[in-house]
Amino acid sequence: MSIEDNGGLRVLAINILGRFLSNCDNNIRFISFSFITLMVATWIGQNQKIRLMVVEINLRGDGAERLRERGRAKAPE
């Protein structure tokens, strides 16, 4: 998160986290969703234009709670 780099590695990181997000394991989805919300909050503040495709996941338990805590992270255009 603290690595200052060009957009290529960031896009790669987002793609990898998106692939983790489509995993069927609840633990892996929870970790990847936490990192994605952290990345969105960090990089949108730097006026980065990121198109983020968040697959529709069935938020249950910890995912929904964490999403409510951090506020709805919308995909920027």
Partner 1 sequence: MIKAVLVLNTEGKPRLAKFYQFQSVEKQHEAIRNVFSVLCCRPEHVSNFVDAESFFGPDSRLVYKHFATLYFMFIFDSSENELAMLDLIQVFVETLDKCFRNVCELDIVFNYSKMHTILDEIILGGQVLETSSNEVMKAIEEISRLESASNAINLVPKSVSGWRSR
Nearest distance from residue 15's CB to partner 1, in Å? 19
**What single string gives the DSSP state of each residue in 7-74?**
HHHHHHHHHHHHHHHT-S-HHHHHHHHHHHHHHHHHHHTTT-------------THHHHHHHHH---P
Q: Does 28 bind partner 1 (CB under 8 A)?
A: yes
Residue of the chain from 10, 13, 30, 70 that contacts partner 1 (CB under 8 A): 30
Rank residues 6 and 58 by Cβ distance to partner 1 and give the closer one: 58
Q: Does 18 bind partner 1 (CB under 8 A)?
A: no
